[in-house]
Structures are given as C-alpha cells and as structure tokens.
Structure 1
C-alpha cells in the first residue's frame, strides 16, 4: 500500500519554488492542519523526501556529489564496474542505455561516467522530482557536468514507454534493477529508504517489464540480481557478469552479436 506525499517548503524563502514544483509535477501542497506524513521538502539547497512524523529517519535526496560516490564516478569503467562490462561498454563502444528502473539514479550515473548516454525512466513523480533536482545540481558542478550531460530524465511508466518507442528511438541496452523494489525498505541507504517503501509500495510486474525490455532493446537487456538469486523470468540469460554480492544477467537480442 502506498502513502500520499505532500510537497512543502522548508521556509518562507522557498514557498514560490515549492508551488512551482507542485504545479510542474502535479503534486499536492501540504496545507494548514495537514496531518504529519511523507513530505517532499523544498529547501536547504535541494529537494528532499522525508517524513514529518516524530522519530522518522532523516530525509533522502539524489546526490551525485556525495564524496564517496563522486570518487566512484571518477573511476567508473569496465575494469571496476560489473555493470559497465555487462552493458558492453569498452574502448570504442559506448552504447545508449535506457534505465527502466531509475530510482535514485546511481547506476545510471555510473554508466554515464563510463561514457554511455543514459535515459532514466521513472514512474513516480515524487522520485522524478528528486532526480531532476539531483541532475540540476550535478550540472552546475564542473566535476559532474559532463556526466550529467549524458543523462536524460523521462517521467513515465517504463513498460508503457518501452512499448511505445518508435524504431529509430530504441536504445541499444535496456537496464533493469528489480532489486530496487525489494530493498526500498532498507539495504543500501539504511532506514531512510523506508520513505521510498511508503511512497512506492510494490514495484512494477518484473516479468512484464522484462518482456517489454526485450522487445525494445537493439542489442541486450541487463538485469541486476542478487548473486545467488534465480533468474528474473524466462527466458534464461545468455550469460552473467558476477560480482561480490550481485550479478548482472545479460539477455542478448537475436542477431545483435555476442559478448
């Protein structure tokens, strides 16, 4: 079950910005007497998702400039990132990638740092607003401006968007991270990911999304899985790129070549 999220300024100085954002993403503004709950806060230099209830975890934001992640971006490449190897990026080959489960955008940023052009598709207007804000801040910083220039955000349901792509807009690679839905309540960012669990509930039907991805990709579909988990759905992947705790299953499009 999902929970309604209300947009709210953190101070009077950001009231106009909050109203503009609410109109842009068709989000309700928190009014006087609104019960505590999920909030998309505008202020403190960013757009943040949090919870106004006492004792709730701190807010989250899309931040490509966080020092540890920024260091990772500077070394992103096939030798260090299994995801980069899985999409087939290498010297002289930088495929266009559609990330159909964009989430908070970290995997997309890694691919963009490796030289790929990445379309980030996100169905939630709240998460899309977080992504847009993070991309804007990344574009203003000289350390990440070039990476941001390779990333394009699309607010849409991924399966519908993939099925509606005309032939000349089909991506080389479609990337899926169904674990994003499974770990919304914890995992990589700790208890603060509870906000996404409350906001989004269960993810899209993964088998349906895989089918749409296989129909749209020109070269391959890459699916992120826990290292010992079963394949996402039939058909079985053509091969996998292993990692310490995860792996990337690769489904080759017939006639598109091999590894």
Structure 2
C-alpha cells in the first residue's frame, strides 16, 4: 500500500521541531519548515506541534486536520453510550459475558474499532503498515495513556512496530489469536461515497487500496482460533470470494464472519 501523494513532516510550532525532525528521520520523509517551498498541489503533511501529530492537506486547508483522539468526541460518546456488547462489532467478534477474545487487528487504521473492542474487555494486537497512519495511531495511543479514565482500555491495545501484516502473520503460530479482524481499504468506484468524511478524503489521496486483501484473509484464517471477521462496505464483494458463515449488515457496512469453531460458552 503505497502513498499516492507527497508527504512531508511539518513542525507547527518551534516546540514541535525536535520531534518533527525525529519523526521525519524515522519515517524517511522530508522535513519542511514553513518558509520552505512545498508543492501545494500534491503535498500532505504530518503536522507536529507540542500536543499531537495530525495529517493535513496543505493544498486544501478547508479539509482540516485528521488526528487520533480516544479521549474526546465520538469515541468517548460511543464508549459511554454506544450499546456495549449489543453493538454489531461485539456480536461479530463473539464477545460473551465470560469470554473476551484476544483480537489481532491486521488493518488497524486510526484504531477506532480496536478501541471499541478494548473498551469491552478484549486484548488487541494492532498492525498498521502505512507509516503515516501508524504515526497518527501511535501518537493517539500515547496521548490517551495520560488520561486516567481510559488508561486501562489503552493498555489493552498493543501496537506492534511498523511492519507489513503479511510478514507478521507469516511468523505467527496457527491459532495464535482467538479472532483476527480485517477492515481493508476498498477501492470505491463511486467517488461521492469516498468523499463522505474528511478522513476518507485524505486517506484516498494518501493510500492505494489494499490490493493484497485476499491473501491477507488466507493468512488470517490460519492464525485465528475461533473466527475471522471482515468489515466491508455493504455492497462490496466478498473477500477472496469466500462465502462467510454468517453476516451482520448495517446501513453502510457489514461484518462477514468466518467461523472455525464455536467460541467458549
């Protein structure tokens, strides 16, 4: 999954410059200062200030910034009022009163689904292979650990070092995790649907679709003990053309559930 646009690291304030330099070196991205010339027609920026790391389209400021926030906003509301184990994702994963499955999220993205599962008691292992998205997720986890109210939830979310999911899965023993969760990027043909959220707008400009998702599914199936859960747009084709054991469909998305064996009661 390669970047479609130029990505630079940009310190928003003098206080953010030391970490901006460190991040640029780590991710092998160019460091730019505000007086440097940047191709505004193509550049996305990881903007670093003293508080957070965010992603911004330099050529389209009205899109705003995208960053990970587990403490405030929609995730906080969902944690407090989201329906608990009655949520579709909880049912798909197989959460029971006495069973909180270990989950490998191989396409963690901004970590929102993982946070929901961790808030319900699951232990999450997170993989993200885009260096830009990885840096956003890592930064969000770092900041969230400082919040006492959700610290125990964040401690159940373990972000693995930046790597490709295929390499990680290849080193896993069979049935290493109770459940493996995949939410691969789907290359929409309908551009209007792809522009429904600012995060998706930026991600479509940042990343190609997950063209190897079918192979990821095969590796994930071997790694899961009880089930593999695939999140898809409601009208998207089946991953690897494999018919699921069952489906849970919502208005926009669905969960395809591939059961290997029954979960403990």
TM-score by length of 2: 0.86
Q: For residues 190-237 of structure 1, give each alpha carbon's deviation from its aligned partner in whole angstroms, at most 9, with x where no partner exists.
A: 234322112112224221111111121111100112334442233311
CA drift of 1:178 comes to 2.5
| Unaligned 5+ runs, structure 2 | none
Q: Are 1:212 and 2:216 counterparts? A: no
- Name the structure 1 match of 2:262: 257
Q: Do the aligned residues in 2 keep the contact of 1:159 with 1:213 (CA within 8 Å)? A: no
Runs of 4+ in 1 over 4 A off after TM superposition: 179-189
- Name the structure 2 match of 1:109: 115
CA gap of 1:238–1:180, structure 2 versus 1, over 3 A, is same
Aligned-partner Cα distance in 2 for 1:226–1:143: 33
Q: Are 1:123 and 2:134 counterparts? A: no
Aligned-partner Cα distance in 1 for 2:144–2:48: 17
| Unaligned 5+ runs, structure 1 | none
1:1-259 maps to which residues of 2 (within 5 A)? 2-30=4-32, 32-36=36-40, 37-43=43-49, 45-55=51-61, 57-75=63-81, 77-79=84-86, 81-154=87-160, 155-167=162-174, 170-179=176-185, 182=188, 190-253=197-260, 256-257=261-262
Aligned-partner Cα distance in 1 for 2:144–2:220: 28
Secondary structure in 2 aligned to 1:8?
A: strand
What is the root-mean-square deviation of aligned Cα atoms in Å? 2.5
Aligned-partner Cα distance in 2 for 1:91–1:85: 12
Number of matched residues? 255
Q: Do the aligned residues in 2 keep the contact of 1:185 with 1:196 (CA within 8 Å)? A: no
